Amino acid sequence: MCLQEDLMSEMLEGYYQSSFKLPRCSENCLYLNVFTPAKRDPKSKLPVMTFIHGGALVIGSASMFDGSALSALENVVAVSIQYRLGILGFLSTTDNQLSGNYGLKDQVAALQWIQENIAAFGGDPSSVTIFGESAGAISVSALVLSPLSKGLFHRAIAQSGAITMPDFVASKSEDLIHHQDVVAKISGCDLASIADCLKKKSEEEIMVIAKAMGMLPLPVHVDGVFLPKPVEEMLADKEINKVPFIIGMNNQEFGWLAPSSFNLTGMMEGMTRETATSNLQNLPLMGPNPKAIPFLIDEYLGDIDDPVEIRDRFLDLCGDTAFVIPALRIAKHHRDAGLPVYVYEYQHPPSLLAHLRADYVKADHGDELFFVFGGPFLRDGVLYAGPATDAEKALSRNMMRYWANFARTGDPNCPGLTTWPPYGEEEHYLGINLKQKASSKLKEEKFKFWTEILPEKIRSLAEDGSDHTEL
């Protein structure tokens, strides 16, 4: 797998299938894995489902995702790809020594390889779906915008991530200063010659830098090439690759994995309002504008004082700002561009994780991957493999069917499945649980708060003489 600090092993300890072993790290890492049905017709032209892994653009590996169950049960060609991470994949400098987005360009190169070679594996190069989770979903939504990827894929699925997430895009040169300074300080490189300096570093030295940086992501860069203009401008101008899109999130994105990474206090016993405020102020990643915090506390906590209720609402607040609202922004822009879009909210926590997590945890970040990849049907030694109830096996089959139907036709629906209506003016979405249910207006009031009410409150602060800070 691509060079990275060994954080993934710690995060996966005891999760899912403990016998899974991560491959070794190497700078020579631009590989992809192809899974095909065992009994495919040699002349077949099957839909291709290309997965982009997550990990904050810092960690992760294609080998964590075994596509054999998805391929066999849904008769598709599944591909998982790797891309450079951390400073090798995403470091940008203000003087353009390093233009950044190298990891995203690796993804484009993988899609070009698929166009040229996937027919030899029974795949149809004219039917390629990209799908990804977390930073992989950020990548998917970036590829949906980029002119470099035009024509290389035909459908897209973003699970729990969007290019509109806070702190993941540097639109202006000034946005790069903090990150380049951090890398220069840790690496001992002079900023004026940082590109040449880093190129001379050994793999071991790069790993030392990665360890010091931890989970600090380097942002995607509006470089004028991969992203010609700021993301919000491209979305507003409808400069989007014209493909059908599924985008969704889990109903407690900030339930367990992220809080554990950030060492937040009050997770088990509950929080006071002061603890919730302090946690917000200290969030190192995707934290809100400090000026907005009093408004956020008022909106989400109201006048409640029960510590457990405060904790649960705090987790909703964090999930909304980092995942839910950014995804809904993308969905609305895609819809308004006249393109098919389907929205989901995943709601079922896997039973095999129940012993590892607190009882309050609902569907946490990443929980849907066990079902999308057919975890109940995978062999031992594969990460997302493990025991499941009969109802969970049915859920996994349904999710694979929705995803594969979409890969085949651009529409997730087929006979035997609960109808998943498109996200139109009524803003329909599918609640994915042991039973599926279509609803509408997901987080409608909170979306209005984040996109209309809160910006107006911040503007009013600025007009009253406070410094203006962008949301």
Q: HSE of 28 in the Cβ direction (CA atoms, 13 Å)?
A: 0
User: If DSSP codes are grouped into helix, strand and coil, which group holds residue 84?
Assistant: coil
Q: How far apart are CA 281 and CA 275, in angstroms?
A: 10
The residue written with tokens 């992220």 in the block is 258
- Options 61, 127, 134, 141, the catalytic residue: 134
Q: What is the DSSP letter of 2?
A: B
Sign of the Cα pseudo-torsion (306, 308, 312, 318, in order): positive
Q: Which amino acid is at 165?
A: M
Task: Find the catalytic residue in 5, 253, 299, 392.
Answer: 253
Structure tokens at 160: 């729990």
Residues 6 or more apart whose CB falls under 8 angstroms from that of 184 comprise 190, 191, 194
Contact 372, 401 (CB under 8 A): no
Helices (H) and strands (E) in the chain, counts: 18, 11
Around 314, how many Cα atoms within 13 Å sit in the side-chain half-sphere? 32
Cα angle 367-373-375, degrees, rounded to a multiple of 5: 75
The span from the first CA to the last CA of the chain, in angstroms, equals: 36
Helix axes 203-213, 177-187, angle to 10 degrees: 130
Strand 77-81 and strand 32-35: pairing? Answer: antiparallel
Residue 171 among the catalytic residues:
no
Q: Is 134 a catalytic residue?
A: yes
Question: What is the three-class DSSP state of 26?
Answer: strand
Task: For residues 326 and 170, give the distance between their C-alpha atoms in angstroms, rounded to a whole number.
Answer: 16
How many Å apart are CA 65 and CA 51, to the nearest integer?
8
Distance between CA atoms of 56 and 138, rounded to whole angstroms? 9
Annotated active-site residue in 127, 365, 392, 396: 365
Going through 162-306 in order, the beta strands assigned E by DSSP cover 169-170, 220-221, 245-250
Identify whether the C-beta of residue 77 lies closer than 8 Å to the C-beta of residue 384: no
Q: Which amino acid is at 217?
A: P
173 is catalytic: no
Residues recognised as catalytic: 134, 253, 365
